[in-house]
């Protein structure tokens, strides 16, 4: 069975700092990869996705992620975070139709 | 397009009771998946329905069941509720193509006392 590991449970940054959240998965076949974000009091929203092609994908709000197949990784990055980026971030792997496996999530707190 | 809707948003039940949660997917989406979210276990997959058939199933006991109607709306049922069933139950829909980009509803917060 596939699994997803997110390296950091809680990250605290100051505004304008750069962000990188790690995500590793275990699955030997073709995967669809996602990052979701859950802002306080809101529901899960898709941040970005990778299916195939260019391993560097761009999402909403200036986020990007890089798929490195050899490392089974899909790390999320943002050059300069804002206070409004405070949220919980989930990495997810989809290998079988509507069944996705999620990481435990990383809580990001951005100090103004 | 309207998003995924879930009803009710909040529910309080007593141990031993049963509960039914409802999910209406985005118009045109044929696949509906259910997840349980708890602080200790994170997001765990319950099951997926596609064209009224259960296509995938997670590792939950048989007390958790679901169904999908011809209009793609889905319900999940939990019988003989236990305290540990207290969680946020999330529904996600997708069109059903190869990429399975899921769109989530706001969830139903179930509290079992």
Spatial separation of the C-alpha atoms in residues A110 and B21, rounded to whole Å = 35
Tokens standing for residue B110 = 């179930």
Phi and psi angles of residue A86, each rounded to the nearest 5 degrees, phi first: -60, 120
Q: How high is the pLDDT of residue A26?
A: 92
Three-state DSSP state, A61:
helix
Residue linked to tokens 């994170």: B42
Instruction: Residue B33: list chain A partners with CB under 8 A.
Output: 98-100
Mutate one of A35, A43, A104 to test the B interface: name it (highest B CB count within 10 A).
Answer: A43
Q: How confident is the model at residue B63 (pLDDT cuts 50, 70, 90)?
A: very high
Nearest-by-Cβ selection for A97 from B42, B48, B103: B48
Low-confidence ranges of chain A (pLDDT < 50): none
Instruction: Residue A49: list chain B partners with CB under 8 A.
Output: 99, 101
pLDDT tops 90 at residue B24: yes
8 Å CB contact of A97 and B31: yes
8 Å CB contact of B101 and A34: yes
Q: How high is the pLDDT of residue B45?
A: 95
E strands in chain A: 3-6, 10-14, 19-21, 23-26, 32-38, 45-50, 56-58, 64-68, 73-78, 87-96, 99-102, 106-111
Residue A77: CB atoms within 10 A of its CB come to 14
8 Å CB contact of A98 and B104: no
Spatial separation of the C-alpha atoms in residues A76 and A43, rounded to whole Å = 19
Could you tell me the maximum CA-CA distance found in chain A, to the nearest angstrom?
A: 42
Mean per-residue pLDDT for B72-97? 94
Spatial separation of the C-alpha atoms in residues A95 and B99, rounded to whole Å = 9
Nearest CA in chain A to B92: A98
Please give the mean pLDDT across all residues of chain A.
Answer: 93
Instruction: Residue B58: list chain A partners with CB under 8 A.
Output: 99
Q: How high is the pLDDT of residue A2?
A: 80
Check if A46 contacts B (Cβ < 8 Å): yes
């Amino acid at each position: 069975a596939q699994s997803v590991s997110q390296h950091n449970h809680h990250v605290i940054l100051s505004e304008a700092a750069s962000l990188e959240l790690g995500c590793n998965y275990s699955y030997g076949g073709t995967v669809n990869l996602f990052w979701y974000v859950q802002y306080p009091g809101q529901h899960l929203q898709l941040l970005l996705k990778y299916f195939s092609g260019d391993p560097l994908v761009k999402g909403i709000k200036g986020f990007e992620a890089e798929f490195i197949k050899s490392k089974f990784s899909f790390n999320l990055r943002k050059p300069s975070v804002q206070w409004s980026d405070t949220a919980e971030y989930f990495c997810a792997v989809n290998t079988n139709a509507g069944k996705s496996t999620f990481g435990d999530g990383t809580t990001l707190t951005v100090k103004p | 397009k309207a998003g995924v809707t879930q009803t009710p948003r909040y529910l309080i039940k007593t141990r031993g009771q049963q509960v039914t949660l409802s999910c209406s997917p985005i118009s045109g989406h044929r696949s509906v998946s259910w997840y349980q979210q708890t602080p200790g276990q994170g997001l765990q997959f319950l099951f997926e329905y596609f064209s009224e058939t259960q296509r995938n199933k997670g590792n939950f006991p048989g007390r958790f069941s679901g169904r999908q109607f011809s209009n793609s709306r889905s319900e999940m049922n939990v019988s003989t509720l236990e305290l540990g069933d207290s969680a946020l139950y999330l529904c996600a829909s997708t069109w059903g193509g190869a990429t399975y980009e899921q769109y989530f509803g706001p969830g139903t917060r179930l509290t079992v006392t």
